[in-house]
């Protein structure tokens, strides 16, 4: 599969979405209302990013973006 060249802001937004989701999924998260609002804001930014108008297969690209953001997070932790 060809690697897709995602805009940096899109990758960063997906990484922030992942981190926010993990924080919200933790047992007894602090500031859960703030986390839910942030997750909603990031979801809207991801969904309506102008980049999606340029790719032929949006579902496949979204999946690849999620995988890429997870891989970047794993590299940062290691």
Q: What does the H/E/C string look like for the chain?
A: CCCCCCCHHHHHHHHHHHHHHHHHHCCCCCCHHHHHHHHHHHHHHHHCCHHHHCCCCHHHHHHHHHHHHHHHHHHHHC
Q: Does position 77 have pLDDT exceeding 70, yes or no?
A: no
- pLDDT digit string, tens, across residues 3-59: 679 999 999 999 999 999 999 999 999 899 999 999 999 999 999 999 999 999 999
Residue 39 has what pLDDT?
Answer: 98
């Amino acid at each position: 599969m060809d690697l897709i060249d995602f805009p940096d802001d899109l990758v960063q937004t997906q990484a922030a979405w992942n981190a926010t989701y993990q924080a919200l999924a933790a047992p007894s998260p602090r500031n859960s209302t703030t986390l839910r609002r942030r997750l909603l804001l990031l979801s809207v930014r991801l969904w309506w990013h102008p980049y999606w108008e340029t790719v032929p297969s949006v579902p496949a690209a979204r999946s690849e973006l999620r995988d890429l953001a997870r891989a970047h997070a794993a590299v940062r932790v290691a």
